[in-house]
Structure 1
Amino acid sequence: MTLGYLFGGGVGSEPRGVDLHRAYTGVRNLYRQVAEWTGLTVGQILNDDLPEAPEARQSVATIRESVHAVAVHDVLAEKGLRPAALGGLSLGGMSAACLAGSISRRALFEMLAHARDTPNQPSGTPEQGLALAFEPIGDDTGRYRGEGCPGVYLAGQFGPTTDGTTRILMLSGERAALDRVGAELPEGTVIPLPGRSMAIHSPLRGGFRTFMAGYINAMPFTDPELPLISCLDRKVLMTGADVRDTFHRNPTTPVSLPYIYEAMKDEGVRLGLIMGGSIPDGVLRFPFPVVHVDRPEHIEQALTTVFELGIDVFAPRVTR
């Protein structure tokens, strides 16, 4: 039985990793290194207010989320834990690619910093947003997915809830169109996500994808050293070219958490550690036990669960 690491993809505005940063010297060193690579201060990465400009705000938020997830990985590595497979949603997939050895840490964080130079949407562009939709299991009409509603796109699938009655989806698109879908459905089944002004994982992020294409083409990708699970397709990424392709497609392609955990199960994973705080605890059903590792007090829980379940672990490996 082996261990899998799952990385969430949500990008919020709240501080991340403050407790880990306070508790571990290695984490503080990591933040200083990322600050040098990105031109930010440690405070800007850790817990300062995010920039107001949308693309700059998104860029700093992605750095904040990613360095937090990498910090969790590093603390677990210090304790002797190494995964047998990795996978993540969106940004989490990029962090997983780095920790699987497909790109260097410096390349990842410099790419995330480069994204802040993306031109903002032209004046007059319809307001964009995100929403969660709660689709009853067995309802295949597509109405909870906004099918047939112009300006609404299915951006993500998170799988069934723990009670098995509902699937959680992410919708992306024009804010007014998302509001129309919500108004046509039972109250509480489409929940707008506050503060999310980008229609991620939809064609509306085509401009960002185009802006980043040349930069990603110039990045040095290598074959992953560990099984790396895609969130865009039901597959294990085997080559550097595979990984580069996911970086290109990520802004405009829907993501799927079931793709990750189903493939991990096929790889022999019997315990998943969820790195960071962007996948909610106790809400989703997984095909194996999971432990959320976000703060220092979660480290001991992860180690205890690994021991109790008899999970195979490996010696820590230094990533580039």
Structure 2
Amino acid sequence: MTLASIFGTDVLRYQPDGVIEFYDVYPAVRDSYEQAAEWTGFDAKALLHQQGFDGDEQLRLRAVSIALAAAQFGIHDALAEQGIRPGIVAGLSLGGMVSSCVAGSLRRRDLFRVLARGRHVAQIDFGGPVLPLCSSLEERTLRSAIEVREMFCRNAVGPVSTVCLGAVMKRHGAQLGLVIGPSGITDVPACPFPVIHVDSPKAVARALAAIFDFGVNLPGDRARR
């Protein structure tokens, strides 16, 4: 059976407290923020603490999106360093874009540049996913670069569903799901398998214990950087 990583979105209610704890504990999270800063021109500490963006709502929303993506990538990397790698990935809204990177369909720097400069999908070099990439827009697995590009175009306006997400992941053999970082995902009961929120460092131990208890298989990491 397989581990699923789920990435959500919490742009309107984002609180950095748990991410700051991860940042202090895990070098991978600090590296992720430094990369995001390099690729977007934002200051890493300003992104982390969400400071300096008041008074410009559009700037604040861009900064929150970049910070949330950096947090999710960093936590994913911190887990991967401990051997916790998904066999299936999925996401809601911004998390759908993050999960596409984790699945190997595009480079992180391309996503960050979209988030910093506005959603330039035509300029992204998409590839086919190397991990099963589950859509939250309908009960569907995205299998080609064209399908991932289409998802990016629909992602901001199409309704998303954890029911669809859970159904597709279950068909791929998901036995346990990890919701990575801040997510805004509240209807966990909609998933047809146990789900753990990895939103603070202390949750990592719970994730490791659940992986052991459920006998989940952990594949290698094949994502593009």
- Partner secondary structure for residue 81 of structure 1: coil
CA distance in 2, matches of 1:260, 1:13: 22
Q: CA RMSD in A?
A: 1.6
Q: Which amino acid letter does the alignment assign opposite residue 110 of structure 1?
A: R
Partner of residue 142, structure 2: 237
- Partner secondary structure for residue 272 of structure 1: strand
Asked if 1 retains the 8 angstrom alpha-carbon contact of 2:89 and 2:99, the reply is yes
Partner of residue 200, structure 2: 295
Cα 1:14/1:260, change in 2 over 3 Å: same
Within the candidate set 77, 80, 83, 1:77 is matched to 80
2:56 counterpart of 1:53: yes
Cα 1:232/1:318, change in 2 over 3 Å: closer
- Partner secondary structure for residue 70 of structure 2: helix
Partner of residue 6, structure 1: 6
Within the candidate set 39, 42, 54, 1:40 is matched to 42
- Partner secondary structure for residue 156 of structure 2: helix
- Partner secondary structure for residue 210 of structure 2: helix
CA distance in 1, matches of 2:138, 2:84: 27
Partner of residue 118, structure 1: none
1:8-38 Cα deviation digits (max 9, x unpaired): 1221342251011100122212211110101
Identify the structure with the greater helix proportion. 2
- Partner secondary structure for residue 189 of structure 2: coil
Segment of structure 1 superposing worse, 72-81 or 44-53? 44-53
- Partner secondary structure for residue 260 of structure 1: helix
Within the candidate set 172, 181, 184, 1:267 is matched to 172
**Larger relative contact order, structure 1 or 2 (CA cutoff 8 Å, min sep 6):** 2
The number of residue pairs the alignment matches comes to: 222
Structure 1: stretches of 5+ with no match in the other structure: 116-211
Asked if 1 retains the 8 angstrom alpha-carbon contact of 2:65 and 2:115, the reply is yes
Cα 1:59/1:247, change in 2 over 3 Å: same
Partner of residue 157, structure 2: 252
- Partner secondary structure for residue 277 of structure 1: coil
- Partner secondary structure for residue 255 of structure 1: coil
Asked if 2 retains the 8 angstrom alpha-carbon contact of 1:216 and 1:244, the reply is yes
CA distance in 2, matches of 1:319, 1:76: 17
Within the candidate set 87, 100, 103, 2:103 is matched to 100
**Rg larger for:** 1
Asked if 2 retains the 8 angstrom alpha-carbon contact of 1:31 and 1:42, the reply is yes
Asked if 1 retains the 8 angstrom alpha-carbon contact of 2:105 and 2:224, the reply is no
Cα 1:288/1:21, change in 2 over 3 Å: same
Superposed, 1:16-165 pairs within 5 Å as 17-49=19-51, 50-115=53-118
Asked if 2 retains the 8 angstrom alpha-carbon contact of 1:2 and 1:270, the reply is yes
- Partner secondary structure for residue 10 of structure 2: coil
CA distance in 1, matches of 2:158, 2:185: 22
CA distance in 1, matches of 2:14, 2:29: 21
- Partner secondary structure for residue 23 of structure 2: helix
1:130-183 Cα deviation digits (max 9, x unpaired): xxxxxxxxxxxxxxxxxxxxxxxxxxxxxxxxxxxxxxxxxxxxxxxxxxxxxx
Superposed, 1:156-175 pairs within 5 Å as none
CA distance in 2, matches of 1:234, 1:52: 40
CA distance in 2, matches of 1:300, 1:319: 27
Deviation at 1:54, TM superposition (A): 2.4
Segment of structure 1 superposing worse, 231-240 or 11-20? 11-20
Deviation at 1:287, TM superposition (A): 0.6
2:186 counterpart of 1:284: no
Deviation at 1:282, TM superposition (A): 7.7
Asked if 2 retains the 8 angstrom alpha-carbon contact of 1:10 and 1:279, the reply is yes
Deviation at 1:318, TM superposition (A): 5.5
